[in-house]
Amino acid sequence: MGVNRLPLIAGNWKMNLDHLQAVAFVQKLHWTLKDAKHEEDSVEVAVFPPFTDLRTVQTLLDADKIPFALGAQDLSTKDSGAYTGEISGAFLAQLDCRYVIIGHSERREYHAETDEVVAAKVQAALRHGLAPVICVGETAEDLEKHGAAAVPVAQLEAALAGVAADADIVVAYEPVWAIGSGQAATPQQAQDVCAKLREVVGSALGADAAARTRVLYGGSVKSANIAGFMREPDVDGALVGGASLVADEFAAIIRYQKHVGV
């Protein structure tokens, strides 16, 4: 992992946990980390609840001074107007969201989001001071047809079109073939792709951006395998799905440094 890049462990709750369940979960996660004497400045923790939970979770984080960053799972390409059901980046900014996930494989698959839509959402996030977590990845078919990294690289190149060199972004590599399968990529596979994605950032935004941008791995991340990924120099954190819904397991993932000896 890069020397100057604070690791980011992000929990994507997807369509799970209502606002009451979210409160109980955040409290339990915070208590678990405190009981384990987790050092808050060693890893940035971010939670990505459903839209209906955001205000409640924001209030809890503020009131109890819980040092988790708040993120949203998506946003609209539009800032306001007659777009029923859409969520503006302006709304998310007012809720003190720090991050927003863009281009997640489920959005690409189930909502037919193209590279052009993803790029427009990246611009929408940046307009409102949100750091986009740009998700890229390949299916098993992509992997067989194009080889490792080809599809993620092309997706990221499209997403970064028109992005300023000083933009605050995060990149998340999710091998779609691994998500939900229980079969994660190997640490070396993750490193190989993440290194190529960092090269894309460098080509598009410059060497400084490549050095500071965090590249996450996401795909069947668990406490049993997180340490292996975090040993790799170009893996700066994890975008965690199902395991982020179990407080003890997510806390163990956040505390990965216990197992990597750093």
Residue type, 26: V
Estimate the share of the chain in helix, then strand, then coil, as percent rounded to the nearest 5: 45, 15, 40
* 104 a catalytic residue: yes
* Catalytically annotated residue among 44, 113, 174, 232: 174
Residue of 215, 129, 128, 116 lying closest to 160 (CA atoms):
116
Coil, strand, or helix at residue 134? Answer: strand
174 is catalytic: yes
Task: Please identify which of the residues 30, 104, 106, 232 carries the catalytic annotation.
Answer: 104
Q: Work out the widest C-alpha separation in the chain, in whole angstroms.
A: 53
* Cβ-proximal residues to 262 (8 Å cutoff; 6+ apart), any chain: none
Per DSSP, helices labelled H in 36-98 are 54-63, 89-94
Q: State how far the Cα of 228 lies from the Cα of 245, in Å rounded to an integer.
A: 21
Residues 87, 51: contact at Cβ < 8 Å? Answer: yes
151: nearest Cα among 167, 184, 174: 174
User: What are the structure tokens assigned to 5, written together?
Assistant: 């890049």
Q: Active-site positions?
A: 104, 174
